A and B are shown apart, each in its own frame.
Chain A
Amino acid sequence: MKVRIHVNLKPGVLDPQGRAVHHALEGLGFDGVKDVRVGRLIEMDVADNTSDEALDEMCRKLLANMVIENYRIEKLETA
């Protein structure tokens, strides 16, 4: 089973990287960008019987830092 883990900074946590990217986009002449937040995407291939609880635990224990980040688990259709 292919799984994507989307890790993002929690709302309210300042994202200096996102701010710099925002700035760079404006520098390139792209108007109308209101906000940029930079996150991380982790793609995994796991055994089909991997439980949701196990995926949650992976995120909480390692893939995301729960002090500053949120995560979202996206399961992709298997071919």
Chain B
Amino acid sequence: MRVLAYELRRLRSLRSTWLIVSAVVCCDVAAAVVLTRQLPAGPLSTTEAVRAVTALVPLLPLPFAALGAGALGALSYRHEVRYPGLAASRVTLLRRLWLLVGKLVVLAPVALALAVLTLTLDALAVRLALPTGVTLGVFDDPVLRPELFVDGAPVGPARSLAAFVLLVVVSGWAGLLFTAVVRSAVAGLLALLAVPVLLEPAAAMALSRLGDSWPLWAQELMPFRFSLGRFGLGSGLGSRLGLASSARPGPVAGLAPAGVAELLVTLAVPGVVLLLGCLLAQLRRRAL
């Protein structure tokens, strides 16, 4: 409890926290507006809607909200490295691990709140900035159509949005843990940015070996497949990996439960490696 109280006070009392949150919100809204302006005329598709609402910028490895959460995590650890308030009382391993766990626990709801906030504001921005040719289609008045957000709906964005929120939280944790390994916020953030660049093709390769492809809700959040396809670069690579753009309507319903499990394992392995790295680093150190 003491660790949680400490971390909350620390997070609240720093100006950088509020600066990061406001910068994320500004970038997000701006990107959402620009993406909405570029939409082709006609009814809004699910993919386009998700991309606009989560403000996915092409070739940026992570959404802004995920980046912001990662930055919060990285700075949180760097504070302990550079300005140890009570350095002597962090000598024992158990105290350091508890502090790390406390930081992760506090970071999760903060990242969650950041994701929900950006989603709300982006949805508002998309609605307001919609160009004249585009109609909302099925998204017209989504409050009255709850079936859109029920899991498994053919065109529903529910899974994608949940995946986005999860992505933001995991990015926050990953920023914190990478910084815990390298003890530098900048290096930690760079490592965080490198993860999707490496992980996306690797996971796709693993999936193609198994004869699966990315589920649709995951495809909608992927930075490189989308942009490579848009710039005409991805077709060769994609077809070689069995991920032709034509697969976009995608076998969401046809995806076997085993496929989801494989995907989760593929994504979880780096996380476990990272946690072990943190543990080993803490074992060797005398300070955070």
Real complex partners, A and B? no
Residues of A within 8 A of B (CB): none
